Amino acid sequence: MRSSQLFGKTLRQAPADAETISHKLLIRAGYIQQIAAGIFSLQPLGNRSITKIRNIIRDEMDRAGGQEINMPVVQPRSLWEESGRAETFVPPLATFKDKREREMIIAPTHEETATAMARAGVTSYRDLPFTIYQIQTKFRDETRPRGGLLRVREFEMKDAYSFDADEEGMDRSFQSMVDAYKRIFKRCGLEVIMVEADSGGIGGKDSNEFVLLTDSGEDTILMSNESDYAANLEKASFIKKAFPIGDLGQVEEFATPGIKTINELAKSEGVSKSKTAKAVFYSVDGEIVVVTIRGDYEVNETKLRNQLGGLEPKLATPEEVKAAGLVSGSASSVGLEGIKSIVDDSITLGSNYLAGANKEGFHLRNVNLNRDFKADILGDIAEAKKGYLSPDGKGKLVAKRGIEIGHVFKLGNVYSSKMGADYTDEDGEQNEILMGCYGIGVGRMLAAAIESNHDDFGMILPQAIAPYDVYLAGLNLNNDDIAGKAEQIYETLQDAGYDVLFDDRDVPPGVKFKDADLIGVPVRVVISSRSLENGGVEVKSRTSKDSEIISESDVLAIVQKVLG
RNA sequence: CGGGGCGUGGCGCAGUGGUAGCGCACCCGCUUUGGGAGCGGGGGGUCGCAGGUUCGAGUCCUGCCGCCCCGACCA
């Protein structure tokens, strides 16, 4: 492609409403155009990058045995009523009515249609296993899109669905997708790690995220400094500190005037926070619940939600707390009737806690689970932090930031049972099909790549996802000799299969160099009167500071070498 | 959904009631050609929308819409 004909101008200044680096660069380099909040068009450069990413994904999906399909963006709402997600999906489904007043939805994901496909197409165990995938548009009406392509409302996703007869099969399909994902990210030149994750609204038992570690990421990842344990903060577990459990003391009340927090309580008693039982109030589906956790830990609301069977906990407002007759600052589960109690298992790793007396200005000593208060639900709801012990017993946790660009789920029978997707096995019995689903955010992957790979001048894209492999800058092109040689190099590189952007514009050299850097093309070749005087053409990789002069006849060989 | 900010030419911005301007970009000409060139000439804006106040509104008032950021929420 000749720059003189390329649609899309580079900007010297980024639009004022772009804040994130990738957003600024994508706009400045002319990759994308914003149409509305979280809705973008791809311009030629952006589309070329996305196409390259898409092709790599497709290639690896096919290699893993996936079969490409296509499912509709517009779907009847009734399909989503079958799975039960019509009401519960977050963000709420975007809907409209068609001409015949039927409620339609714009799909945010495709588990329902994929299950419908399998339900219709599978009758026997002989039809299993198989994996289907598509690369296609989703719409999620996120309340707050942000960061250019990082979080958008309409986006392209590669979503795959595997169908198996049994657990072992599902695990095999899952593993095969995980392997494909690893190859995809590697081929794209991105350092993506797999971490344990919460499965959220998609459902299922196990899920893993693929995360590109970068400081500008919006997710927190906790990983062991000694093993390969890594998990999203939402999911991360750790080994809780255990204390010897002695004889249970007598509960006694004592005055704690002015003491409102666990910190103050522990301090005034001269004990560690781990000797206290902290009570936190949540409002769940309109009902107040009390969460008790050892004072040295914090509640992880995602874990709490999972313990509550998926219901969303919200911190209770002071009014709600008061209305429930609770005394904030001196509250505990002790003696509370009719209020659901959720207890973190850290409480079982110690005894004789200090806790609120449910009486303004008083606390209790020697409070113990079961004897003094009950647990309707007992489990892990504690938030992991850096420095805590890795759950595998190897090393301590460290915290990093990352961007989630892929997520894989073992769905099991979540959808097949609700939607009646089953098959007949060897013994003639009906069984539910076991599913897995696997997503990659295509545009987000590009944004994430830029977030983790740029400098003051612009993007630094890995060759695999850069819109062009080579930026050929011809200077002094009004000189026929130079112009002729530039054309020759352009031809040679293209004949060798490289995507070349030939900057043939009549603009000053500085403009070409700035654009080459901004767009992030991995190799730059310059031909000019000066380069010819110095013995040929100049080749420079985007990442190196210096260029080297080579003879024109070596261009291809050197470009090959620089691109590796 | 709560808090904050911003809407003036393609982009960045100025303009506190009296005929809409600057820089970049764009077009023409000449001169230039190694890190966003110089000179000269030129084109382009219902000032987000609607209503109101006023002799007169980009500017003041009311309502609405849009966009960004923080939070909440989050396949």
Sign, Cα dihedral of A352, A353, A359, A362 = positive
- Distance, CA of A46 to C1' of B11, in Å: 19
* Mean pLDDT, rounded, for A79-91: 91
What is the percent of chain A with per-residue pLDDT over 70, rounded to a whole number? 100
Whether A127 and A11 have beta carbons less than 8 Å apart is answered as no
| Strand B lies under 7 A from the Cβ of residue A508 | yes
Domain of residue A84, CATH code:
3.30.930.10
How many Cβ atoms are within 10 Å of A146's Cβ, its own excluded?
A: 14
| Strand B lies under 7 A from the Cβ of residue A518 | yes
**A253, burial (CB in 10 Å: exposed 0-12, middle 13-18, buried 19+):** exposed
Residues A157 and A281 in one domain: no
Asked whether residue A207 is domain-assigned, the answer is: no
Q: Element (H or E) spanning A141, and its range? A: none
- Give the model confidence (pLDDT) of A352-407 as tens digits: 999 999 888 899 999 999 999 999 999 999 999 999 999 999 999 999 999 999 99
Whether A482 and A439 have beta carbons less than 8 Å apart is answered as no
- Distance, CA of A118 to C1' of B26, in Å: 56
| Strand B lies under 7 A from the Cβ of residue A510 | yes
Residues A445 and A489 in one domain: no
Average pLDDT score, chain A = 93
Query: How is residue A394 written in tokens?
Result: 């190897």
Asked whether residue A204 is domain-assigned, the answer is: no
Identify the residue whose Cα has the smallest distance to the C1' of B1: A143
Asked whether residue A94 is domain-assigned, the answer is: yes
Residues A116 and A258 in one domain: no
The residue from A323, A353, A379 where one domain ends is A379
In sequence order, what DSSP letters do the residues of A327-396 get, joined into one string? -TTS--STT--SSEEEEEGGGGG--SEEEEEEETTEEEEEE-BTTTB--SEEE--BPP-TTSBPTTSSSB
Q: Which nucleotide lies closest to A142 by the C1' atom and the CA atom?
A: B74
- Distance, CA of A509 to C1' of B35, in Å: 7
| Strand B lies under 7 A from the Cβ of residue A38 | yes
- The pLDDT value recorded for residue A143 is 83
Whether A210 and A406 have beta carbons less than 8 Å apart is answered as yes
- The pLDDT value recorded for residue A359 is 87
Residues A441 and A330 in one domain: no
| Strand B lies under 7 A from the Cβ of residue A201 | yes
What's the pLDDT band for A306 if we cut at 50, 70, 90? confident
Question: A71 lies in which domain range?
Answer: 11-186+414-451
Domain of residue A257, CATH code:
3.90.960.10
Per-residue pLDDT for A166 more than 80? yes
The residue from A379, A403, A437 where one domain ends is A379
- Give the model confidence (pLDDT) of A522-562 as tens digits: 999 999 999 999 999 999 999 999 999 999 999 999 999 99
Considering only residues 110-169 of protein chain A, which place a Cβ less than 7 A from any atom of strand B?
140, 142-147, 151, 157
At A513, which amino acid appears? F
| Strand B lies under 7 A from the Cβ of residue A35 | no
Q: Which nucleotide lies closest to A507 by the C1' atom and the CA atom?
A: B33
| Strand B lies under 7 A from the Cβ of residue A189 | no
Kindly give, in sequence order, each residue whose CB lies less than 8 Å from that of residue A480, ignoring residues fewer than 6 positions away. Answer: none
| Strand B lies under 7 A from the Cβ of residue A549 | no
Asked whether residue A390 is domain-assigned, the answer is: no
ipTM value of the model? 0.94
Q: Which nucleotide lies closest to A476 by the C1' atom and the CA atom?
A: B33
Q: Which nucleotide lies closest to A407 by the C1' atom and the CA atom?
A: B75
Nearest to A167 by CA among A385, A433, A408, A423: A433
- Distance, CA of A279 to C1' of B20, in Å: 62
Asked whether residue A156 is domain-assigned, the answer is: yes
| Strand B lies under 7 A from the Cβ of residue A430 | no
Asked whether residue A5 is domain-assigned, the answer is: no
- Distance, CA of A37 to C1' of B8, in Å: 21
* Mean pLDDT, rounded, for A408-426: 95
Q: Which nucleotide lies closest to A516 by the C1' atom and the CA atom?
A: B35
- Could you tell me which residue, A333 or A163, shows the higher pLDDT? A163
Per-residue pLDDT for A261 more than 90? no
Chain B bases closer than 7 angstroms to a protein Cβ: 1-2, 5-6, 10-13, 23-25, 32-37, 66-75
Residues A257 and A136 in one domain: no
* Mean pLDDT, rounded, for A183-189: 95
- The pLDDT value recorded for residue A90 is 85
Considering only residues 260-299 of protein chain A, which place a Cβ less than 7 A from any atom of strand B?
none
Residues A151 and A298 in one domain: no
Identify the residue whose Cα has the smallest distance to the C1' of B35: A510
Asked whether residue A546 is domain-assigned, the answer is: yes
Nearest to A388 by CA among A228, A231, A222: A222
- Distance, CA of A98 to C1' of B66, in Å: 27
Whether A113 and A106 have beta carbons less than 8 Å apart is answered as no
Residues A329 and A475 in one domain: no
Query: How is residue A42 written in tokens?
Result: 């791809």
Residues A107 and A139 in one domain: yes
Per-residue pLDDT for A200 more than 80? no
- The pLDDT value recorded for residue A310 is 79
Rounded to an integer, what distance in angstroms lies between the CA atom of residue A438 and that of residue A418? 20
- Distance, CA of A306 to C1' of B19, in Å: 67
| Strand B lies under 7 A from the Cβ of residue A483 | no
Per-residue pLDDT for A205 more than 80? no
Residues A33 and A69 in one domain: yes
- Distance, CA of A499 to C1' of B46, in Å: 45
* Mean pLDDT, rounded, for A265-269: 90
Domain of residue A548, CATH code:
3.40.50.800
What's the pLDDT band for A67 if we cut at 50, 70, 90? very high
Residues A101 and A176 in one domain: yes
Residues A34 and A139 in one domain: yes
Query: How is residue A64 written in tokens?
Result: 């893993």
Considering only residues 3-32 of protein chain A, which place a Cβ less than 7 A from any atom of strand B?
9-20, 23, 28
- Give the model confidence (pLDDT) of A212-255 as tens digits: 998 888 899 999 999 999 999 999 999 999 999 989 999 999 99
Per-residue pLDDT for A283 more than 90? no
How many Cβ atoms are within 10 Å of A62's Cβ, its own excluded?
A: 13
Residues A442 and A483 in one domain: no
Q: How many structural domains does chain A have?
A: 3
The residue from A422, A451, A480 where one domain ends is A451
At A425, which amino acid appears? D
- Give the model confidence (pLDDT) of A444-500 as tens digits: 999 999 999 999 999 999 999 999 999 999 999 999 999 999 999 999 999 999 999
CA angle centred on A285, ends A284 and A286, rounded to 5°: 90
| Strand B lies under 7 A from the Cβ of residue A109 | yes
Asked whether residue A266 is domain-assigned, the answer is: yes
Per-residue pLDDT for A322 more than 90? no
